[in-house]
Amino acid sequence: MTPESDVEVIEIRLLLEAIYAKYGYDLRDYSQTSMRRRVLAALAKSGLKHLGELQHALLGDAGFFADVLDGLTVRVTEMFRDPGFYRAFRQRVVPVLRTYPLLKIWHGGCASGEEAYGNAILLEEEGLYDRCQLYATDLNPRALEQAQHGLYPADRFALFGENYEKSGGKSKLSAYYTEAYAQVALRESLKRHILFFQHNLVSDHVFGEMHVIFCRNVFIYFDPGLRQRVLEKFAQSLCPGGFLCLGAGERLPRASSLPFVEFSPEERIYRHAG
Amino acid sequence: MFTTFRAKLTAIVGIAALAFVILIVVSAAIAGRVGSQLDDIQGHYLPKLEIGPQLDGEFDLLKRSLQDAVGARDGDALEATREQYDALLKHLAAAQQVLDSGEAHALRDALQEYFENAYDVSRRMIEGETGEDLVDAISTMQTKQNAAAVLLKKTTAFDRGELTRAFEGASQALASAGQVRLGVGVGCLSVVILLSFWLSRSVLASIKELSLGLERFGQGEFQQAIPAHGNDELAQVARRANVMAQNLERLKDERDSDDWLKAGHAGLSRELRGELTPQEVGTRAVRYLARYLEAPAGALYYADGSRVLRLLGEYGLSPMDEELAAALSFRIGEGLVGQACLQDELTVIPEPPPNYLKVRSGSGESTPSALVFLPIVHLGKVTGVLELGLFKPWSETLAELLMSVRETLAIAIEVARARATLGEMLTESQRQATLLTAQEEELQATNEELHTQQEELRQTNEELTQQALELEAQRQALQVKNGELDQAGKELKAQAEELTKVSSYKSQFLANMSHELRTPLNSMLLLSSLLADNDAGNLTSKQVEFSRTIHSAGKDLLALINQVLDLAKVESGKQQLRVEAVPLSQLAEHAERVFRPLANDKGLDFKVELDPELPANIETDRQRVQQILNNLLGNAIKFTQRGRVALQIRRAGPGQRFQRADLHADRAFSIAVTDTGVGIAQEHQERVFVPFEQVEAASDRRFGGTGLGLTIARELAQLLGGTLELSSVPGQGSTFTCHLPYQAPAASAEVPRAPVLHQAPAPRPVQSAGEAYLLVVEDDPVFAETFVEVIRKQGLPCERVADGKSALELCRRRPPHGILLDVELPDLNGWQVMEQLRLDSTTASIPVHFVSAGDGAQRALAMGAVGYLTKPATRQQLVQVVDALAPGNSEHARRVLVVEQDTASSDSLVRELLAERLLVTRVVSAKDALLALQKERFVCVILDLSMPDMDGLEFLRSIREQSGPNAPSIIVYTARPLSKPEAKSLEAYAETVVLKEGSSSERLLDEVRLFVRRLKAGIAPRRLGATPGLPPHVNLGGKRVLVVDDDMRTVYALSATLRAKGAEVLVADTGKAALSLLQLETDVDAVLMDIMMPEMDGYETMRRIRQEMQLSSLPIIALTAKAMKGDRERCIEVGASDYLPKPVDPERLLAMLHASLNGGRTEKINDS
């Protein structure tokens, strides 16, 4: 490692420490490589020259911090991403979920909420939605705000519609939204059982016993230690036999003491072993 | 003459000036005439006009003066009249020139006469004369006076006619002068106007021609020139305009051809736009150029890197198939096309050979008038040729166009070629990228894997280092032995090799042999059977008998050969298993069907037993099991002369030892065949399994047989994952027991062999060895000793203490698996010990069994004890108690109550529970269920909510109330539709709820298994509302606490904690519910508020409580999972008195509540 990048590593660490100390957002255990990329991207966007200046600016200006946080955290989600997963979810998980009178589902790291709404649609179609309470949490308040509004750029819905159909959707995705001015407004009724809430997977605790936890494509940004910690939280929160759904690129650490068993490993669906 | 407009204009102006002068002269002449006439009037008539009255007046004055003088008789005055007279004459003389001279003279004379007479008369009168003379004189004088007056009048009288005539003459002169002037003026004007008209006409005509001409030019018609007559300025302009038009025409022509070129060029560019393949470029280019040049045919040849020109596109050529088109290629320099390629210039062949190129259309054929070959140049190199057949005459413009497009064309082709190449490369790179992504993912996974492995390795490394040290010591010791072993090993190896060789020879031999033997044997069997039939009837009965013997002996021989082969197969591991579900009852039936007749024949008692507790099916190879069974039963019947043969299929007894380590008592069953035959002496027992060995073979040949059956049976048992054992007492009989697992190993080729028969028994599996021990808390040494002995006998470790304090101390240090607790102890009594145990989370879930001489069973069970034993107790009772506490064995921990009306669905459930070795009690009604719960302790209740006699929810509530936190786990399994509030309260009361919907039976079994697994693993089932470790000093007696949380589990746990401390608990599951509840219930002492709730979150609820309801002093403790910086502040900001992170620590909660309720609230806030 060159001395320069050495310095950079230290500066990034200091920056994350500073953010934690000032605002309480704990990004310190995020995967180093991706965090480095995003910090440098934020620096470039800010127009400042050095990480030191960025740090100074962040500490002094909460609004600026909110901007930067937006870039440091992940905000990309998709509706029905990986249709194969949703097909498996419909075919294999939903029959089990039918046996619960009340269902609590947690979307950890919901970003701008597309996935949570997608799930609401799925559950609605399966006739389960009125038994459900979805908790969609993220640490980024801006993303949550967007999620709460349920307004999205219309251009992405072509892809979502495709995903939806491939995932075994029973109707048309367009039945769940109204499109105008290149924006899509999701049907208000979809929001009736979703609670969007700011929650930090890293530092906050679990808040209830869940039957399903979605945490897809979030772990890839965490380092293994943090992954383990968050997985432990999920284990704590899931009821025995509850489902944990991870993203396509993510898998549980092979040798671990976590109480999860494979349910549909190719779709990254695991179950709490009890 | 006047050629120019300037001259013409000058002439006109000159003429006009001349006319003007003439006019002036004429006017002047006329004016002169008129003037003289007027002068005449002025000089002659005007003085006359004045003199007449003057003379008249003077004459009158003279008359009056004379008269006056007469009148006055004044002589002097008369004399004075003379003067007047002279003046009159003088005036008359002055006017003489005005007056007619004759007349003037006459007048003078008249006047003179008058005055002479008058004067004379007057004097005489003055002198007084009278008489006739005088009168005559007077009349003369009057005559004279009248004559003078008449003459005066006549002389001075204005001659009107004369004056009129004079004026008439003057006006006549004036009129004639005007006429002359008019005539002259009109004449001049006419001349000027005529001249001007002529001039303007000629100018206008020219201008019109000019403007028409210019308009034509403007419209681009340059052919007709503007006519230029004469040499005037307009003609010059016209001539210039014509020159200009010629120039313009030339320019237009140039521009037109330029436009044509450009349009052609642009059109080609447009045509070649887009992502095209080289062929498309070729075809489009040729087609376009041919159409543009109106050429009927064309072709484009291109050399892509090679020296061969290939057809890239064509137009109007005779239709050809693609193959031909592809073959249409020229080497550079070959043919016209090839030749064209050698130069950089256009090649034009004005008259192509008649049959060179024919253009065909629907109506006919024609040869183009000219052929053009355009070499296409790219980067200075000729890379292709465009050939066009033309009908149009060849022109420079065509050449120019072709030359100008060739670069475009070359570039387009090159670009298309490059694109095609690029496209291929892109596809390739995409393929590689996908490959790469996949590899990357693999790599990443491997990486992560490696990372964890690395960590593990590090740890393992350290352990290994430790072990290495120990090993080093051992190694040295071993080294000595190694030398010896080496030698032995070498010998063994040599022997083994020999054996392998022999063995393979044997197998080979056997295979050959069997084949060699079977063929003749077959003939023998066939022939002997034919002989025995004696169809011909030519054999004696003796001979027939012999034939039968031969046939029967042959059959025996065949059986032997088959068995030998079987054994060889099994031994060489070639036997394959076909594992399937085999109903055990079928095995029993098979034995019954096949062997009962045999046994009956021999007069033996035959009995088949099948243990009902066995699972219905096992997974194994039916044929092999039957083979074993056949062997054992066949042998038993064969070797038993009298008595009985029994087959028992049963579960392996608990604690059963097996010769194989992989057999487990709970997953194995046994097939035992017992006979009352001769029995086998201990020393011979192993030999029966050796091939070709028979007990007392030499001495007793009665029984015949091959001696292979048992060998094969044992080998098969091994193959199926089991063992075959023998126990026998000579003279009494033998029992062959085959232990088999429920699940045969999956068709493995390599079956672990057990060459050494006397294996050490597998260690009995003990849950977390060393940890699991039982604690006896008993001060009576004798009783304690008895317990210890019983426990040790059960094979469990055990500790013993004599007082409560040391018991607690030991429990905290090393929690035992179970406690036998005496109530009467020297320091703390048993109840106190129990209470302390329950308060500490590490010991709270340890099962406790009370032992006491007193009566306290009710109390003990209420405290959560497993059981209560009253002293004195029998040894049997002690064993039961120990059994109940033993790990995985505790009886209470295996008792399950199933409350279900639908017997069909409960049957399968009960079967499953039994298979899990649980003790099942089944009831239908709530009443029975409650009764059962009062009588016995159950670890779990599986409950259908639809009960005939009680509402399921009500029932649940009463169980909870009856047993408190020590109530059994409840799994609700119901088809009853649940409302949301019902579901919510179920969440609080039941461990889990399974709706009969979807994959409910699987899930129920999952839940049951999960539950059992936890039991067996010694993990206490998740108890709802377990409340370990509450601070004893807190007392919430009489306080009303509102718990607001949508998670009923949390609500239940909190309620249990609070109730345990005497508080009354109100529950609201949403913020709204909390608000309305607070409106109804005024005496709420404190609120525990969850933050994350649907509909109205905790922040909002607290804000409303504080602001809208004005409950400013009500302590509210916010409960939240959020632990970030600022979350606490936010809670306090909206009105929370304090803040507690989830998961809630009961101790902290109680401490906080205590502080809040006792006025510590403000202090707390300040604290934050």
- Measured distance CA(A16)–CA(A36) in Å, rounded: 11
Q: B78-104: per-residue pLDDT in tens?
A: 888 888 888 888 887 877 777 777 777
Give the count of beta carbons closer than 10 Å to the beta carbon of residue B1047.
Answer: 23
Peptide bond into B872 cis (omega under 30): yes
Total structural domains within chain A: 2
Give me the amino acid identity at B1000: S
Partnered with residue B301 across adjacent β-strands are: B311, B385
Give the pLDDT mean for B291-320. 78
Q: B127-138: per-residue pLDDT in tens?
A: 877 778 788 888
| Bigger pLDDT: B1046 vs B841 | B1046
- Nearest residue of B to residue A22, measured between CA atoms: B1125
| Closest by CA position to B994, among listed B1036, B1033, B940, B923 | B940
Give the pLDDT mean for B957-972. 74
Residues A138 and A236 in one domain: yes
pLDDT at B358 over 70: no
Residue A222 phi, psi dihedral angles, 5° rounding: -100, 150
Give the pLDDT mean for B893-922. 77
Q: What is the per-residue DSSP string for B1090-1137?
A: ES--SSS-HHHHHHHHHHTS--TTS-EEEEES--STTHHHHHHHHT-S
Q: What distances in angstroms separate CA A160 from CA A118, A134, A153, B200, B403, one per listed residue?
A: 9, 20, 12, 87, 54
B704 band by pLDDT with thresholds 50, 70 and 90 = very low
3-class DSSP state of B1056: helix
Domain boundary among A17, A41, A72: A72
Question: How far is the first Cα of chain A from the last one, in angstroms, to the nearest whole number?
Answer: 45
Two structure tokens written together for B204: 């206008």
Give the count of beta carbons closer than 10 Å to the beta carbon of residue A259.
Answer: 16
3-class DSSP state of B720: coil
Residues A93 and A62 in one domain: no
CB contact under 8 A, A98 and B978: no
CB contact under 8 A, A240 and B1007: yes
pLDDT reported for residue B8 = 78
B891 band by pLDDT with thresholds 50, 70 and 90 = low
Give the pLDDT mean for B443-449. 67
Residue B617 phi, psi dihedral angles, 5° rounding: -120, 150
Residues A206 and A90 in one domain: yes
Residue B1035 DSSP label: -
pLDDT reported for residue B394 = 78
Residues in chain A whose Cβ is within 8 Å of chain B: 23-26, 94-102, 104, 130-131, 133, 135, 193, 195, 197-200, 203-209, 224, 236, 239-241, 249, 251, 253-255, 273-274
A-chain CB neighbours of B1141 within 8 Å are 205
Give the count of beta carbons closer than 10 Å to the beta carbon of residue B152.
Answer: 23
C-alpha dihedral (B599, B605, B606, B611), degrees to nearest 10: -170
Q: How far is B1008 from chain A (nearest CA, A)?
A: 11
pLDDT reported for residue B892 = 55
Average pLDDT along chain A: 87
Q: Tell whether A77 is covered by a domain.
A: no
Residues A66 and A161 in one domain: no
Give the domain CATH number at A103. Answer: 3.40.50.150
pLDDT at B1165 over 50: no
Two structure tokens written together for B1061: 């401390």
- Interface mutation vs chain B, best among A19, A99, A272, most B CBs within 10 Å: A99
| Closest by CA position to B988, among listed B931, B925, B1043 | B1043
Determine the angle formed by the axes of helices B1098-1107 and B1071-1080, rounding to 10 degrees.
30
* Out of A258-272, B308-322, B1068-1082, least confident range: B308-322
- Measured distance CA(B1102)–CA(B1082) in Å, rounded: 16
pLDDT at B749 over 50: no
Partnered with residue B651 across adjacent β-strands are: B669
Residues A34 and A128 in one domain: no
- Nearest residue of B to residue A254, measured between CA atoms: B449
Contacts of B604 (CB under 8 A, 6+ apart): B637, B640, B642, B643, B644, B645
B241 band by pLDDT with thresholds 50, 70 and 90 = confident
pLDDT at B584 over 50: yes
B1162 band by pLDDT with thresholds 50, 70 and 90 = very low
Q: What distances in angstroms separate CA B433 from CA A172, A248, A249, B443, one per listed residue?
A: 34, 18, 17, 14
pLDDT at B965 over 70: no
pLDDT at B893 over 80: no
Two structure tokens written together for B601: 């024949």
pLDDT reported for residue B271 = 83
Give the pLDDT mean for B1026-1038. 63
- Nearest residue of B to residue A20, measured between CA atoms: B1125
pLDDT at B1103 over 50: yes
CB contact under 8 A, A224 and B1049: no
Domain boundary among A51, A72, A93: A72
3-class DSSP state of B696: coil
CB contact under 8 A, B1003 and A274: no
pLDDT reported for residue B164 = 79
Long-range own/partner contacts, residues B593-596 (CB < 8 A, 24 or more apart): B594/B630, B594/B633, B595/B633, B595/B634, B595/B637, B595/B645, B595/B647
pLDDT reported for residue B752 = 37
Residues A110 and A61 in one domain: no
Long-range own/partner contacts, residues B557-560 (CB < 8 A, 24 or more apart): B557/B517, B557/B521, B558/B518, B558/B521, B558/B525, B559/B706, B560/B706, B560/B708
| Closest by CA position to B819, among listed B785, B844, B856 | B844
Q: Tell whether A133 is covered by a domain.
A: yes
pLDDT reported for residue B454 = 65
pLDDT above 70 coverage of chain B, percent: 84
Residues A266 and A148 in one domain: yes
Contacts of B528 (CB under 8 A, 6+ apart): B547, B548, B550, B551, B554
Q: How far is B683 from chain A (nearest CA, A)?
A: 51
Q: B149-165: per-residue pLDDT in tens?
A: 887 777 766 666 777 77
B889 band by pLDDT with thresholds 50, 70 and 90 = low
Q: B7-56: per-residue pLDDT in tens?
A: 878 888 888 888 788 888 877 877 777 777 778 777 776 777 777 778 88
Q: Tell whether A27 is covered by a domain.
A: yes
Residues A143 and A230 in one domain: yes
pLDDT at B1166 over 50: no
Q: What is the per-residue DSSP string for B739-777?
A: EEESB---S-SSPPP----SPPPPPPP-TTTTT--EEEE
pLDDT reported for residue B766 = 32
B984 Cβ under 8 Å from any chain A Cβ: yes
Give the pLDDT mean for B537-557. 82
Domain boundary among A32, A49, A72: A72
- Measured distance CA(B745)–CA(B720) in Å, rounded: 6
pLDDT at B809 over 70: yes
| Bigger pLDDT: B860 vs B240 | B240
Which residue in A99, A104, A254 is closest to B999 by CB distance? A99
Give the pLDDT mean for B731-751. 74
Two structure tokens written together for B852: 């006491």
pLDDT at A255 over 50: yes
* Out of B109-113, B678-682, B1013-1017, least confident range: B1013-1017
Q: Which helix (H) or strand (E) holds B327?
A: helix B322-327
pLDDT above 70 coverage of chain A, percent: 96
* ipTM over 0.85 threshold: no
Distance of CA B614 to the CA centre of its chain: 55
Residues A134 and A267 in one domain: yes
pLDDT reported for residue A124 = 94
Most confident of A109-118, B391-400, B780-789, B819-828: A109-118
- Measured distance CA(B114)–CA(B148) in Å, rounded: 7
Q: Tell whether A245 is covered by a domain.
A: yes
pLDDT reported for residue B546 = 84
Give the pLDDT mean for B524-535. 78
* Out of B443-447, B532-536, B941-945, least confident range: B443-447
Residue A60 belongs to domain spanning: 3-72
pLDDT reported for residue B91 = 81
Most confident of A8-22, B188-202, B888-902: A8-22
3-class DSSP state of B250: helix
Most confident of A125-134, B252-261, B328-337, B829-838: A125-134
- Interface mutation vs chain B, best among A100, A110, A144, A206, most B CBs within 10 Å: A100
pLDDT reported for residue B448 = 60
pLDDT at B1122 over 60: yes
Q: Tell whether A204 is covered by a domain.
A: yes
Peptide bond into B615 cis (omega under 30): no
A-chain CB neighbours of B1123 within 8 Å are 200, 203-205
pLDDT reported for residue B136 = 83
pLDDT reported for residue A173 = 92
Most confident of A71-80, A87-96, B189-198, B621-630: A87-96
Residues A68 and A94 in one domain: no
Residues A173 and A224 in one domain: yes
pLDDT at A119 over 90: yes
Average pLDDT along chain B: 78
Residues A41 and A139 in one domain: no
Query: How would you classify the pairing of strands B1138-1141 and B1116-1120?
Result: parallel
pLDDT reported for residue A185 = 92
Q: B1057-1076: per-residue pLDDT in tens?
A: 888 777 888 888 888 889 99
| Closest by CA position to A141, among listed B1126, B1119, B1045, B1135 | B1126
Q: Tell whether A244 is covered by a domain.
A: yes
Q: B757-798: per-residue pLDDT in tens?
A: 333 233 333 333 345 788 888 887 777 887 888 888 777 788
pLDDT reported for residue B301 = 84
pLDDT at B691 over 60: yes
B1022 Cβ under 8 Å from any chain A Cβ: yes
pLDDT reported for residue A9 = 87
- Measured distance CA(B98)–CA(B77) in Å, rounded: 32
| Bigger pLDDT: B300 vs B693 | B300
Give the pLDDT mean for B373-392. 82
Give me the amino acid identity at B413: I
Q: Tell whether A78 is covered by a domain.
A: no
B-chain CB neighbours of A69 within 8 Å are none
Give the count of beta carbons closer than 10 Å to the beta carbon of residue B621.
Answer: 20
Taking a C-beta distance cutoff of 8 angstroms, is the pair A13, A192 a contact? Answer: no
Taking a C-beta distance cutoff of 8 angstroms, is the pair B762, B723 a contact? Answer: no
Determine the angle formed by the axes of helices B46-72 and B101-126, rounding to 10 degrees.
10
The half-sphere exposure of B755 on its side-chain side, counting CA atoms within 13 A, is 1
pLDDT reported for residue A4 = 65
A214 band by pLDDT with thresholds 50, 70 and 90 = very high
- Interface mutation vs chain B, best among A107, A194, A196, A207, most B CBs within 10 Å: A207
Beta strands in B957-1010 (DSSP E): 969-974, 992-995
Q: B191-232: per-residue pLDDT in tens?
A: 888 888 888 887 888 888 888 888 888 887 777 777 777 777
